[in-house]
């Protein structure tokens, strides 16, 4: 579940998607791995039946150690080559941060190629943005321009972390409280530890 108001409806990009039901400014954390998200260790993953592995590969998120988190937002968050949210680790806690102001009615999108994957994968893309790479995947080479574009966006968004009204402060989830405390503890956010997956090299 996102921390903002959304509805699931037909997407212009693919199948169904999450449509924002409110305006959300850049720098807002709209998702975090919470208590209810299912964690699967590498050892547990390795002994799963093939169909379950394939399901997770499509809809869950893997870290660089082979552990997985099955998120509640996975199935309906579509890919875009110019997304409005990006993955961001805050002191080790996974979140999604808004990198472009979201208007009510916009679809929430993320770049799938930013996620680590132990399997190389590719897909054709028709996201319709000017930056569409047409063929995307983990491990595909991207140009420096795309990387610096994302780098700039995430830095700008991180710079706004404490300037916006963060819905995560209102959550009772224990992980949300920990993230919330980190955000509140620094006057000027110094989130330098975010892990940049896939496209973006640290």
Q: In the complex with Zn ion, which residue's Cβ is closer, 127 or 158?
A: 127
Question: What are the backbone dihedrals phi and psi of residue 55, each rounded to the nearest 5 degrees, phi first?
Answer: -60, -45
The DSSP-derived string for 73-136 is SGGG-EE-SS-SEEEEEETTEEEEEE-SPBPTTPBPEE-GGGS--SS-EEEE-----TT--SEE
132 in contact with Zn ion (CB under 5 A):
yes
**Contact between 110 and Zn ion per CB under 5 A:** no
Q: Does 125 bind Zn ion (CB under 5 A)?
A: yes
Q: Which of 110, 127, 158, 179 binds Zn ion (CB under 5 A)?
A: 127
Task: Please state, in angstroms and rounded to a whole number, the distance separating the CA atoms of residues 126 and 77.
Answer: 15
Q: Binding Zn ion by CB under 5 A: which of 26, 60, 81, 176?
A: 81
CA–CA gap between residue 176 and residue 131 (Å, rounded)? 33
Question: Measured from the CB of residue 79, what is the shortest distance to Zn ion in angstroms?
Answer: 7
Could you tell me which stretch among 8-16, 19-27, 35-43, 130-138 binds Zn ion (CB under 5 A)? 130-138
Residues within the interface to Zn ion (CB under 5 A): 81, 125, 127, 132
């Amino acid at each position: 579940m996102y921390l903002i108001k959304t509805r699931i409806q037909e997407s212009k990009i693919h199948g169904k998607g999450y449509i924002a039901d409110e305006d959300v400014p850049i720098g807002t954390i709209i998702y975090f791995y919470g208590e209810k998200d299912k964690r699967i260790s590498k050892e547990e993953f390795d002994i799963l039946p093939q169909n379950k592995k394939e399901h997770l590969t499509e809809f869950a998120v893997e870290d660089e150690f082979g552990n997985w988190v099955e998120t509640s937002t996975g199935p309906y968050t579509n890919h875009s080559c110019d997304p409005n949210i990006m993955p961001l680790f805050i002191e080790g806690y996974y979140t999604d941060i808004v990198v472009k102001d979201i208007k009510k009615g916009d679809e929430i999108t993320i770049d799938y190629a930013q996620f680590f994957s132990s399997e190389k994968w590719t897909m054709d893309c028709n996201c319709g943005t000017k930056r569409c790479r047409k063929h995307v995947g983990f491990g595909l080479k991207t140009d420096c321009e795309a990387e610096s574009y994302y780098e700039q966006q995430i830095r700008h968004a991180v710079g706004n972390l404490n300037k916006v009204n963060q819905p995560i402060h209102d959550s009772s989830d224990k992980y949300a409280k920990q993230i919330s405390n980190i955000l509140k503890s620094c006057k000027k956010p110094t989130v330098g530890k975010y892990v940049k997956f896939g496209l973006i090299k640290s």
